[in-house]
Structure 1
Amino acid sequence: MEVEILYRPAYSLAVIRLAGHEEVRVEAGSMVSMSQDVAIQTQATGGLLKSLARSTLGGESFFQNTFRAPAEGGEITVAPALPGDLAVLEVQGGPLLVQSGSFVAAEGGLQIDTTWGGARAFFGAQGLIMLRVSGEGKLVVSAYGAIHAKDLAAGEVYTVDTGHLVAFGADMGFKVRPVGRMKSLFLSGEGLVVDLTGPGKALLQTRSVDAFLSWLLPKLPARRD
Structure 2
Amino acid sequence: MKFDVSGNPDYGHVTVELKPGETILAESGAMSWMSSHLQTRSHLMGGLMQAAVRKVVGGESLFVAEYTADGSPGSVALSPTEPGSVLHRRLDGDGFILTAGSFLACTPGIALHTRFGGLKALFSGEGAFFLECSGHGDLFFNAYGGVIERDLDGVLVVDTGHLVAWEPGLTYTIGGMGGLKQTLLSGEGLVLRLEGRGKVYLQTRHLPSLARWILPFLPS
Q: Which residue number corresponds to residue 99 of structure 1? A: 99
Matched, 1:71 2:64: no
Aligned match of 2:165:
167
> What is the SS of the residue equivalent to 1:216?
helix
Q: CA RMSD in A?
A: 1.9
Q: Give the match for residue 201 of structure 1.
A: 199
- Greater alpha carbon shift after TM alignment, 139-148 vs 4-13: 4-13
SS state at 2:55 partner: helix
Letter of the structure 2 residue corresponding to residue 167 of structure 1: A
**Given that residues 95 and 168 in structure 2 are in contact (C-alpha distance below 8 angstroms), is that contact kept between their aligned partners in structure 1?**
yes
**Are residues 1:52 and 2:48 paired?**
no
Q: Deviations over 1:60-115 (max 9, x none)?
A: 1111111111122221101111111111111224200011211101111100001x
Partners of 1:152 and 1:199 within 8 A in 2: yes
Q: Which residue of 2 aligns with 1:145?
A: 145
Number of aligned pairs?
Answer: 213
Secondary structure at the counterpart of residue 45 of structure 2: coil
SS in structure 1 of the partner of residue 54 of structure 2: helix
Could you tell me whether the CA contact under 8 Å between 2:159 and 2:188 is conserved in 1?
no
Give 1:178 deviation, angstroms.
3.0
Deviation at residue 190 of structure 1 after TM alignment:
6.7
**Which aligned pairs between 1:204-223 and structure 2 lie closer than 5 A?**
204-222=202-220
Amino acid at match of 1:217: L
In structure 2, list runs of 5 or more residues that go unmatched.
Answer: 178-182
The SS at the match of 1:48 is helix
Say which SS state the counterpart of residue 5 (structure 1) adopts: strand
- Tell me the TM-score normalized by structure 1: 0.88
- Counterparts of 1:20 and 1:57, CA distance in 2: 35
Q: Which amino acid aligns with 2:173?
A: K
Kindly indicate whether residue 24 of structure 2 is the aligned counterpart of residue 11 of structure 1.
no
Assess if the C-alpha contact under 8 Å between 1:58 and 1:127 holds in 2.
Answer: no
Distance 1:162 1:11 in 2: 23
Q: CA deviation at 1:123?
A: 3.2
SS for the counterpart of 1:143 is strand
8 A contact 2:83–2:145 mirrored in 1: yes
